[in-house]
């Protein structure tokens, strides 16, 4: 079972303003890796993260939805590795819920900018050193 903590919620929701944005790592279906900073990551619910993908094609997420989100705050010496399954929304109520949440946190200034809302179902939470803390399905292989 995944239960994101209040500490995770507070640090991730304030990551950009604290100068510690999350890193999102993906891979294409044929294994080509990619990683980049995401300044709009927020805790969406007790077991999911979300962010806005702005103007970038998201086909790679639909073809291979397994991603890793890294968070680390060197000053506080705290961080996590989140192994997730991504779902892309380009409209509808979940899209709007993500955009409203990001706007409420001050992570986006103009919710009308086109893009996609990406919800990341957290499958595993690990320490930055790889120690398993939580998992959605016990024994799930990654």
Would you say residue 67 lies in a domain? yes
In this predicted structure, the answer to whether residue 68 has a pLDDT above a threshold of 70 is: yes
pLDDT digits (tens, 9 = 90+) for 30-56: 889 999 999 999 999 999 999 999 866
Would you say residue 142 lies in a domain? no
7 by Cβ neighbours in 10 Å (0-12 / 13-18 / 19+) ranks as exposed
What's the pLDDT score for residue 54?
80
Q: What is the CATH number of the domain that holds 63?
A: 2.30.110.10
Predicted confidence band of residue 140 (pLDDT cuts 50, 70, 90): confident
Would you say residue 49 lies in a domain? yes
Structural domain count of the chain: 1
In this predicted structure, the answer to whether residue 90 has a pLDDT above a threshold of 80 is: yes
Percent of residues, the chain, with pLDDT higher than 90: 79
Distance CA 57, CA 46 (A): 27
- Which residues span the domain enclosing 79? 6-134
The residue assigned the tokens 């944005």 is 21
Would you say residue 42 lies in a domain? yes
């Amino acid at each position: 079972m995944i239960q994101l903590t209040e500490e995770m919620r507070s640090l991730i929701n304030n990551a950009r303003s604290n100068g510690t944005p999350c890193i999102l790592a993906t891979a294409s279906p044929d294994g080509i890796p990619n990683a980049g900073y995401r300044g709009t990551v927020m805790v969406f619910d007790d077991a999911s993260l979300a962010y806005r993908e702005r103007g970038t094609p998201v086909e790679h997420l639909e073809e291979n939805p397994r991603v890793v989100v890294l968070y680390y705050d060197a000053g506080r010496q705290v961080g996590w590795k989140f192994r997730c399954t991504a779902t892309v929304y380009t409209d509808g109520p979940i899209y709007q819920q993500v955009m409203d949440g990001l706007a409420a946190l001050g992570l986006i200034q103009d919710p009308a900018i086109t893009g996609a809302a990406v919800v990341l179902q957290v499958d595993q939470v690990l320490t930055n050193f790889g120690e398993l803390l939580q998992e959605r399905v016990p024994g799930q292989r990654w």
